[in-house]
Amino acid sequence: MQYFSRDEVRLKVKDLIIRTLNFKNTKPEDILDNVSLFSGENNIKIDSVDSLELVMEIQREFKVKINTQNLAWTIINTVDNITEFVMKEHIKEEA
């Protein structure tokens, strides 16, 4: 398992969001870390279909499982939540 810092994971998450949902004119730094991606207050806005696409891509990219829908909605809500989840799952795996 390759180790990544929180900042590196955060950047990978933002890249993944841009790539998966095809936000062509968005740069990683445009996406706010701790503002809901659903609310319209971030610089991008996603919906529930996008969130499912992200769940599946996060599972593939980071080799993690997000198996309950409530959890998925909470995780996908912000970049920070996704980052924390990925970090936590990898720490669990290492332990």
Partner 1 sequence: MSIIPFNHTMAAHCESGTVTAQLNFHGLKITEPLVFGISSGLFFAYMKPPMMDFPMFVTRSMPGQILGKFSRRTGVKFKKKTYKDSKEAENDLNALLDQNIPVSVQTDLFFMDYFPAWFRVHINVHYINIIGREGDKYFVSDSYFPEIAEIKRDTLMKARFAGGAMAPKGLMFYPIHIPENIDVKSVIKKGIKATTFDMLKIPLPFLGVKGIRRFADRITDWPDYARDNQQLADKILRIFILLEEQGTGGGGFRFVYASFLQESAKVLNNPRLNDLSREMLEIGDKWRELALAASKVSRSGDITKDKLAGLGTLIREKADIEEVFFKKLRKEISNHK
> Under the rule (CB under 8 A), what is the footprint of partner 1?
47-49, 52-53, 55-56, 59, 65, 67-70, 72, 74
Measured from the CB atom, the residue of 6 and 65 that comes closer to partner 1 is 65
CB of 5 to partner 1, least distance (A): 29
**Separation between Cα atoms, residue 38 and residue 55, nearest integer Å:** 14
3-state helix, strand, coil split of the chain in percent (to 5) is 60, 0, 40
Amino acid at 4: F
Question: Which one-letter amino acid corresponds to residue 86?
Answer: V
Q: Shortest distance, CB of residue 59 to partner 1, whole angstroms?
A: 8
CB of 13 to partner 1, least distance (A): 19
